[in-house]
């Protein structure tokens, strides 16, 4: 950056004026040079951030015209097909936004698409953080804030798409109310207090409105702010690579690189949403009609992020207890509480569980490659399959229709898959992870296959391998394996059992620890490679000796154990 220029007076003058008052030069200079590590997956959270900015902007616009009221009015707007129909003011004003307010429909559609993108990018961002282990110390709190943001996003979306008081969203509210009623002891009261009496009443729209435009966005904004401040304070994680250590951050400075990149990213996302809003119609409430509790249409699906709840309700068989004059409806309670309960509670507890199982109390600023943490990756995939099955079951009628399969068959398949799928996903993912580790080990050991075939003096043909260069080796050598904790019943030299391995909890920890510590050995001396081609690698080395350096496994240089220290799985194929 040697291209200097004379700073215009207006700029330097303003800068001086501000610095005289706020003393910002030093802090801003440090911030301008703040390093942002570069990896495509680090842009996922940013999609959520920019979507949220667009949600605030378009939402404010919509609030200028939307009337949050259930009061009946006769519609006489531009949409002739509904002319003369008695509808609620909420529905009427949404129609007006769509047909009579300049840019109103575009704003509505961007708002809706941005909400979907917000939840989608949040989901994928969380998967990225999970699969790379970026939630580990010192970032557990930011992980929990993320789960909070996801939960608030769900509610915000549900309340938002319920506001127009159309047939589809009304059906959604009806289901919401039915589920609320099903909560033991307080359910009926909760429903009556939220809806201001029996369903649907005329209180729910204004109440959802204030939650949707004020309370929940305020909480989301506060949590996003905390999330970003914590991230800046703790600095970013980085993917393993040459020159990257637990003690540094390698990347590009905020100004000008990341600022340009992040700014451009905002406009890309804005453009993508504007294009979607223009060409992919979403939530055409004028086709659904105003809400009436007597009506429903088939293929009623909520927005995608509520799909798992919908699917859970559909997959559940009838089950209800009546006792002592009370009713507990498991048909409602289990679908409403268990799937999200498993996913949210599981995600929230996972960092602490992993810490307990691995006994790893050190810092982690270098992310794991998913393959190097098979149990974590397999658990994540199991959760994804669990979620995916229930999510797809939420559209079982559409699937049945599309594939011409009986509806009940689809549900029965989902009922089986919701149990079998995660287990299968766990098993397969773990095997794939170990397989990829084996591939890494072979790469480190033998280098890349070059495709060059040489003939040995004895007539045998071999393929020449090119050793990896420093940059290629670095990510592979960054693999860390949790240290083994004392095994169950293990004793020290005095015959005293290790205290932390005793008791049921100790045994469980020991088992978990061994699962987490499972890895593939990297042979460090170039022998016993399992090529299975019948000759010693040493011959190959001698024959094609030029430049084929002896490869040794690197040492990560930290206390948490390195490649090959705790092998339970050999590199033999």
Partner 1 sequence: MPDYEVTEERHDLRSTDAERAAFSEYFVEATGASQFVKRPIIRRSLMLATLPLAAIPLVVLRDLGPLPGTSLRHTVWSPGRRLLVYGTNQPITPAEFSAPGGMITIVPDGYQDDLDALAKAAVIIIKFRPGELQIPTRYAGSTVIGTMNWTVDNIVAYSKICTHVGCPAALYEQTTHHILCPCHQSTFDATTGATVIFGPAPRPLPQLPLTTDADGYLVAKSDFTQPVGPSFWERG
Q: Running DSSP on this structure, what letter comes out for residue 256?
A: I
Q: Are 18 and 24 in contact (CB under 8 A)?
A: yes
- Applying the rule CB under 8 A, the residues between 494 and 523 that interact with partner 1 are none
In the region spanning residues 31 to 90, those forming contacts with partner 1, defined by CB under 8 A, are: 33-35, 38, 86
- Which residue from 151, 295, 455, 568 is in contact with partner 1, where contact means CB under 8 A? 295
Write phi, then psi, for 72 (nearest 5 degrees): -75, 140
What lies within 8 Å, CB to CB, of 174 at 6+ separation is 199, 200, 293
Cβ-based nearer residue to partner 1, 292 or 533: 292
Least gap, CB of 242 to partner 1 (angstroms): 10
Nearer to partner 1, 13 or 72 (CB): 72
Site for partner 1 in 235-274 (CB under 8 A): 235, 243, 246-253, 256-257, 260
Sites for partner 1 among residues 187-226 (CB under 8 A): 187-189, 191-201, 203
What is the C-alpha separation between 31 and 522, in angstroms, rounded?
41
Taking CB under 8 A as the rule, does residue 10 contact partner 1? no
Helices (H), 5-103: 9-22, 25-32, 44-63, 89-99
CB 149 within 8 A of CB 274: no
What is the nearest approach in angstroms of partner 1 to the Cβ of residue 1?
7
Integer distance in angstroms from the first to the last C-alpha of the chain? 51
- Please state whether the peptide bond connecting residue 360 to the residue before it is cis, i.e. omega within 30 degrees of 0: no
Q: Does 184 bind partner 1 (CB under 8 A)?
A: yes
Question: Using CB under 8 A, which residues numbered 527 to 556 contact partner 1?
Answer: none
- In this chain, which stretch among 294-302, 345-353, 415-423, 519-527 interacts with partner 1, using CB under 8 A? 294-302
Task: Report in angstroms how near the CB of residue 569 gets to partner 1 at its nearest.
Answer: 33
- In angstroms, rounded to a whole number, what is the distance separating the alpha carbons of residues 444 and 1? 37
Question: Which C-beta is closer to partner 1: that of 30 or that of 63?
Answer: 30
Near partner 1 by CB under 8 A: residue from 328, 337, 342, 448: 328
Asked if 429 interacts with partner 1 (CB under 8 A), we say no
Q: How far apart are CA 129 and CA 121, in angstroms?
A: 12
User: Which listed residue (9, 21, 81, 326) binds partner 1 by CB under 8 A?
Assistant: 326
In total, the chain counts a number of residues equal to 573
* DSSP character at residue 430: H
Find out whether 392 and 311 touch, Cβ atoms under 8 Å: yes
Check residue 527 and report its DSSP letter: -
- C-alpha angle with apex 299: 177 to 184, nearest 5 degrees? 20
Kindly tell me which of 2 and 494 has the beta carbon lying closer to partner 1: 2
- Figure out which of the listed residues 292, 345, 455, 525 binds partner 1, where binding follows CB under 8 A: 292
**Part in contact with partner 1 (CB under 8 A); list of ranges 15-23, 289-297, 344-352, 471-479:** 289-297
Q: Which of residues 114-173 bind partner 1 (CB under 8 A)?
A: 138, 171
Least separation in angstroms between residue 305's CB and partner 1 is 18
């Amino acid at each position: 950056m040697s291209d200097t220029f004379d700073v215009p007076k207006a700029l330097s003058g303003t800068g001086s004026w501000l610095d005289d008052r706020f003393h910002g030069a030093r802090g801003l200079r440090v911030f301008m040079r703040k390093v942002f590590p570069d990896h495509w997956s680090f842009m996922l959270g940013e999609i959520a951030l920019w979507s949220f900015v667009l949600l605030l902007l378009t939402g404010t616009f919509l609030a200028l015209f939307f009337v949050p009221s259930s009061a009946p009015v006769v519609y006489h707007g531009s949409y002739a097909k509904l002319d003369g129909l008695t509808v609620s003011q909420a529905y009427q004003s949404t129609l007006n936004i769509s047909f009579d307010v300049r840019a109103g429909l575009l704003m509505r559609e961007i708002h809706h698409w941005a909400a979907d993108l917000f939840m989608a990018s949040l989901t994928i961002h969380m998967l990225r953080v999970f699969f790379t282990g970026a939630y580990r110390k010192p970032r557990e709190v930011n992980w929990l804030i993320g789960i909070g943001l996801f939960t608030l996003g769900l509610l915000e979306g549900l309340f938002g798409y319920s506001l127009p008081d159309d047939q589809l969203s009304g059906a959604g509210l009806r289901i919401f109310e039915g589920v609320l009623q099903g909560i033991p002891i307080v359910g009926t009261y909760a429903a009556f207090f939220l809806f201001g009496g029996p369903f649907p009443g005329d209180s729910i729209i204004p109440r959802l409105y204030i939650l949707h435009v004020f309370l929940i966005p305020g909480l989301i904004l506060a949590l996003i702010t905390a999330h970003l401040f914590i991230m800046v304070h703790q600095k970013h994680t980085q993917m393993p690579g040459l020159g990257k250590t637990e003690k540094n951050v390698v990347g590009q400075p905020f100004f000008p690189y990341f600022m340009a990149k992040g700014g451009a990213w905002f406009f890309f996302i804005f453009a993508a949403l504007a294009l979607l809003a223009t060409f992919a119609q979403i939530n055409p409430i004028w086709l659904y009609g105003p809400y009436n509790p007597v009506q429903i249409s088939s293929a009623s699906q909520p927005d995608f992020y509520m799909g798992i709840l919908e699917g859970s309700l559909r997959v559940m068989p009838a089950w209800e207890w009546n006792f002592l004059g009370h009713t507990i409806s498991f048909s409602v309670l289990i679908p409403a509480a268990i799937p999200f309960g498993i996913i949210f509670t599981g995600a929230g507890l996972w960092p602490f569980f992993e810490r307990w199982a691995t006994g790893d109390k050190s810092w982690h600023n270098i992310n794991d490659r998913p393959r190097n943490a098979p149990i974590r990756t397999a658990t994540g995939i199991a959760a994804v399959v669990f979620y995916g099955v229930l999510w797809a079951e939420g559209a079982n009628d559409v699937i049945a229709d599309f594939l011409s399969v009986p509806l009940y068959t689809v549900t029965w398949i989902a009922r089986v898959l919701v149990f079998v799928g995660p287990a299968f996903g766990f098993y397969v993912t773990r095997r794939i992870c170990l397989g990829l580790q084996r591939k890494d080990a072979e790469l480190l050991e033998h280098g890349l296959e070059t495709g060059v075939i040489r003939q040995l003096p004895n007539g045998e043909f071999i393929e020449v391998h090119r050793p990896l260069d420093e940059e290629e080796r670095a990510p592979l050598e960054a693999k860390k394996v949790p240290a083994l904790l004392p095994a169950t019943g293990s004793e020290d030299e005095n015959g005293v059992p290790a205290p932390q391995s005793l008791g049921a909890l100790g045994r469980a920890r020991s088992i978990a620890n061994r699962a987490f510590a499972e890895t593939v050995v990297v042979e460090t001396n170039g022998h016993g490679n399992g090529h299975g081609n019948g000759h010693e690698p040493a011959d190959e080395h001698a024959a094609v000796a030029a430049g084929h350096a002896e490869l040794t496994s690197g040492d990560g240089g930290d206390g948490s154990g390195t490649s090959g220290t705790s092998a339970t799985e050999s590199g033999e194929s």
